[in-house]
Amino acid sequence: MKKTLVKKPQKVLCYVDFSKNSPYIVDYAYQLSRLIDAELFVLHTVTDIKSAAGFYVPHINTDKLEEEVIKAAKDKMYGICSQIVGDRIDSDHRLIRRGNPIEVMNEVIEEKAIELLILSHELSKGTLSGFRSDYAEKFMKNPTVPFLVLPMK
């Protein structure tokens, strides 16, 4: 059996979807990153409004709408992070990006040389659970880095 060395991650990425569990996930990721002395990035993705709008919504200024959505997401991210750890996660480590969550996660993992990803996994079995997007399950199909999945109820 080949022995492999386990490296302590130097950079951790925490993905939040702004659900009610997001503060818990940020808190967990922050505590873990302090424990292993790693740099923490927190990521949220917003829908690419221009591609979603299509040609049939010409009366909406999608640039303005997109700016407002990104600003609102930045404010929400700041609120979650400051509620948990004050200003210990600065604006350079609170990332808001446009696009598909899995694609954006992989881009950030490569761009920032992330070595550990922290995600949540919804455990609900309600009637609408089949309609939700579970990013943990999607990421696990083709992971690019080690990951930690936090179960949420």
More confidently predicted of 20 and 65:
20
Model confidence pLDDT, tens digit, residues 131-153: 345 667 777 788 889 888 888 77
Considering the domain boundaries, does residue 18 fall inside one?
A: yes
Considering the domain boundaries, does residue 99 fall inside one?
A: yes
For residues 46 and 69, what is the distance between their CA atoms, to the nearest angstrom?
8
Considering the domain boundaries, does residue 5 fall inside one?
A: no
CB count in 10 Å sphere of residue 3: 4
Considering the domain boundaries, does residue 67 fall inside one?
A: yes
Task: Provide, rounded to the nearest whole percent, the portion of the chain with pLDDT above 70.
Answer: 82
- Report helix angle 62-85 to 22-35, nearest 10: 60
Q: Which CATH number goes with the domain that contains 18? A: 3.40.50.620
Residue 145 and residue 114 in contact, taking contact as beta carbons nearer than 8 Å: yes
Considering the domain boundaries, does residue 3 fall inside one?
A: no
Considering the domain boundaries, does residue 134 fall inside one?
A: yes
Residue pointed to by tokens 């929400």? 76
Enclosing domain of residue 59:
11-152
Considering the domain boundaries, does residue 56 fall inside one?
A: yes
